Amino acid sequence: MTQPDKTPPMPPRSFIEKGASAHFELAFEGPAEPFYFLLLPKTTMLAVAAAIEPLRIANQITERELFTWYTLTEDGGPITCSNGMRITPDGDLPSIEGDARCFVCAGVEPERSASEPVLAWIRREARFGRPFGGICTGSFALARAGLIGQRRFTLHWENQDGFREHFPALEPTDRLYEQDGDLITCGGGNAAIDMMLGLVEARHGPRLAAMVADMCLHMRATGPHAAQTTGHAAAIGSRNRNLIAAIELMEAEIEEPLSMEEICAELNISRRQLERLFLRHLGESPMAHYLGLRLARALGYLRETAMSTAEVAAATGFSSSNHFARRFKERYGKTPRAYRQSWS
């Protein structure tokens, strides 16, 4: 297949600033490594900035053009981020250089943020051997384009349940970022810093990556295997193993909720013990907490999937749509239908 003869219609960005007090001596005379960031509508600005800033800082402190980057949108026009702010890109969808990596950046409503022309461009560039990655919820577009396959990947934890509903054959990890071959993905937010520091380290060594992290005032994670979310022990302020195990059981059994008797039997503790643990540490009964977990999962499905109310009710363990709607309105002040309309 012959690649279209089209070069990027924009100057590369690298921002080598003079006069900064921080300096890192690096003997490097090779070509700059190019990155492309495809910004989809409602992308998360924090994640985009967190991915680009380590590249800029690496250039600044070495006073060398180690990296260049471009921002793209489907038509070359501005996009509105999830926080309402607008970003004006460098251009539209070019044929990118052979040694460049492209990251698909997304945010809220990821299931509908990539148009068919965007997906066609991703597939075309992938056929020419361009490595792709996903930032925040960019894995939705990569999955729709058929780029994930059997490789490890991740996306923001909040959107993982909705992703599984759309792509039941694909299972994201809960890690900050994943690299499997030429596919690299991260959960967004500050995880993008860790991902890019990993790329800086692979290309220019750990000392430069450490100094870039210091310039970002960023405490690096222990590696890509670090989890995205705070552990239950830290979140609830308790290391009680029975309490943590009970919460984990509940989270694992949302579609077919367990009874109190089943949870107690699994943990080999009495009902009274379990109730006291939840009241002491969470201020509510075990079943009230369980209901909250199920309704939170339902909220995500309503926001991120096209599942009907009946399907959402079944997927979160409610015996009927009416029962689900009553409980949902008690918790969130709106019926599932009204909530979905307000979110759309």
Among residues 72, 61, 67, 65, the alpha carbon closest in space to that of 22 is found at 61
pLDDT at position 72: 96
Instruction: Confirm if 298 and 312 have CB atoms less than 8 A apart.
Output: yes
Strand partners, 106: 136
Q: What's the CATH fold of domain 33-215?
A: Rossmann fold (3.40.50)
Instruction: Confirm if 166 and 109 have CB atoms less than 8 A apart.
Output: no
Return the SS3 of 7: coil
pLDDT at position 120: 97
Quick one: CATH architecture of 232-343? Orthogonal Bundle (1.10)
Question: For residue 197, which amino acid is it?
Answer: L
Query: CA-CA distance, 313 to 255, in Å (whole number)?
Result: 9
Phi, psi angle pair for 169, to nearest 5°: -85, -10
Q: Is the dihedral of CA 262, 263, 269, 275 positive or negative?
A: negative
pLDDT at position 223: 65
Q: Supply 22's token pair.
A: 């921080």
pTM (2 d.p.) = 0.77
Start-end ranges of CATH 3.40.50.880 in the chain?
A: 33-215
DSSP string of 286-298, one letter each residue: HHHHHHHHHHHHH
Query: CA-CA distance, 248 to 246, in Å (whole number)?
Result: 5
Query: CA-CA distance, 316 to 26, in Å (whole number)?
Result: 55
Q: What is the mean pLDDT of each run of 10 residues along the chain (344 residues)?
A: 49 61 83 96 96 96 94 96 96 86 95 95 95 97 97 94 92 94 95 95 93 90 68 61 90 93 94 92 92 91 88 94 95 92 74
Q: Supply 134's token pair.
A: 């996903």
Query: CA-CA distance, 229 to 158, in Å (whole number)?
Result: 10
Please report how many Cα atoms fall inside a 13 Å half-sphere around the Cα of residue 127, on the Cβ side.
Answer: 12
Instruction: Confirm if 153 and 228 have CB atoms less than 8 A apart.
Output: no
